[in-house]
């Protein structure tokens, strides 16, 4: 039996998942069929359908046909409202409704649960800046999943079918889970920006600063993933050279107060990491 899929909101994530899901084997012996694609305008809905290669564009909730599964691919602040609008059209009993937010758990879909649907969230852990490129290289992408057993019984094999690697997460810790990605990606960029600006303040041109920093960053990151964070730590704090740390903090503070505060805020957690490194070395 084929499984029908409606998509509400078709930005980069909705388009990529729609293209990947279209036609893959479902969990009921049939295929996943993209049915209706709803966005705020027919033009954007048609554009999404063109990218997906399947589906019917619609621009009103009332135009949505009943589907076995509905993907809410809207922005985080619109998920609750989109779910409520979907439920207001009825016929969700026994259906599956899921969203792709990394920051919100499936309980934001309470209206669908109360209407008799099974709910879940499935968060692909990668950047969707280039939908064409993501769709072509999705194989191996991790997806954080949580939700009702029935919804996951569909989503887990469906995600595997499109090349994803589902990872169960604790819905109560969803915000912390998303913060981990921010640390690993966004804040890493912020710290690297501080390094590049400091190099430039020391007289090194920006292009050269990037070349200079690259091997340090590449090796440090490679060591973290090869050895773990504590064993990968090096530098003055790892050596216990707190006099150097104090001089650096003062120099950075004098150069740029905000960056000096960033440096200061990183000292204590790095000292804790250094203690873990020493403890592991003793344990060995």
Residue-wise pLDDT tens digits, 54-79: 999 999 999 999 999 999 999 999 99
Q: How many CA atoms lie within 13 A of 186 on its CB side?
A: 7
For 196-237, the DSSP string reads HHHHHHTT--HHHHHHHHHHHHHHHHHHHHHH-HHHH--SHH
37 and 72 in contact (C-beta within 8 Å)?
no
Cα(108)–Cα(148) distance, integer angstroms = 13
The enclosing H or E element of 5 equals strand 3-8
pLDDT at 30 over 80: no
Average pLDDT over residues 13-28: 86
pLDDT at 29 over 80: no
208-261 per-position pLDDT tens digit:
999 999 999 999 999 999 999 999 999 999 999 999 999 999 999 999 999 999
Confidence of residue 28 (pLDDT cuts 50, 70, 90): low
214 CB neighbour count, 10 Å cutoff: 11
pLDDT at 80 over 70: yes
45 and 57 in contact (C-beta within 8 Å)?
yes
Sign of CA dihedral 83, 130, 19, 44: positive
Cα(70)–Cα(151) distance, integer angstroms = 11
The pLDDT value recorded for residue 284 is 63
pLDDT at 275 over 70: yes
- pTM to 2 decimal places: 0.84
Cα(83)–Cα(155) distance, integer angstroms = 18
142-198 per-position pLDDT tens digit:
999 999 999 999 999 999 999 999 999 999 999 999 999 899 999 999 999 999 999
Q: Is 58 exposed, middle or buried (0-12, 13-18, 19+ CB in 10 A)?
A: buried
pLDDT at 268 over 80: yes
34-46 per-position pLDDT tens digit:
999 999 999 999 9
The pLDDT value recorded for residue 277 is 95
142 and 125 in contact (C-beta within 8 Å)?
yes
Cα(20)–Cα(116) distance, integer angstroms = 27
Q: Is 254 exposed, middle or buried (0-12, 13-18, 19+ CB in 10 A)?
A: exposed
Which residue matches tokens 């209206």?
111
> Residues near 53 by Cβ (< 8 Å), separated by ≥ 6?
19, 22
> Mean pLDDT, the chain, as a whole number?
95
């Amino acid at each position: 039996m084929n499984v029908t899929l409606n998509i509400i909101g078709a930005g980069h994530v909705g388009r990529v998942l729609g293209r990947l899901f279209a036609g893959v084997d479902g969990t009921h012996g049939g295929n996943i069929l993209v049915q209706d694609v709803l966005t705020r305008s027919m033009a954007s809905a048609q554009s999404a359908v063109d990218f997906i290669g399947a589906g019917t564009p619609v621009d009103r909730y009332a135009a949505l046909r009943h589907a076995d599964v509905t993907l809410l691919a809207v922005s985080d602040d619109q998920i609750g409202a989109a779910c409520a609008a979907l439920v207001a059209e009825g016929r969700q009993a026994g259906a599956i409704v899921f969203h792709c937010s990394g920051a919100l758990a499936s309980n934001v879909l309470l209206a669908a649960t109360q209407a008799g649907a099974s709910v879940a969230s499935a968060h692909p852990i990668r950047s969707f800046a280039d939908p064409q490129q993501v769709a072509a290289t999705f194989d191996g992408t991790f997806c954080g999943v949580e939700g009702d057993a029935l919804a996951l019984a569909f989503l887990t094999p469906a995600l595997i079918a499109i090349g994803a690697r589902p990872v169960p997460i604790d819905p109560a810790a969803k915000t912390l889970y998303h913060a981990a990605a921010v640390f690993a990606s966004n804040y890493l960029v912020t710290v690297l920006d501080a390094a590049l600006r400091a190099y430039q303040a020391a007289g090194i041109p920006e292009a050269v600063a990037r070349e200079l920093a690259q091997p340090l960053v590449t090796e440090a990151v490679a060591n973290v993933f090869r050895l773990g964070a504590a064993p990968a730590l090096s530098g003055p704090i790892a050596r216990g050279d707190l006099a150097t740390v104090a001089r650096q903090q003062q120099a950075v503070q004098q150069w740029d107060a905000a960056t000096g505060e960033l440096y200061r805020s990183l000292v204590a957690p790095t000292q804790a990491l250094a203690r873990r490194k020493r403890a592991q070395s003793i344990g060995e």
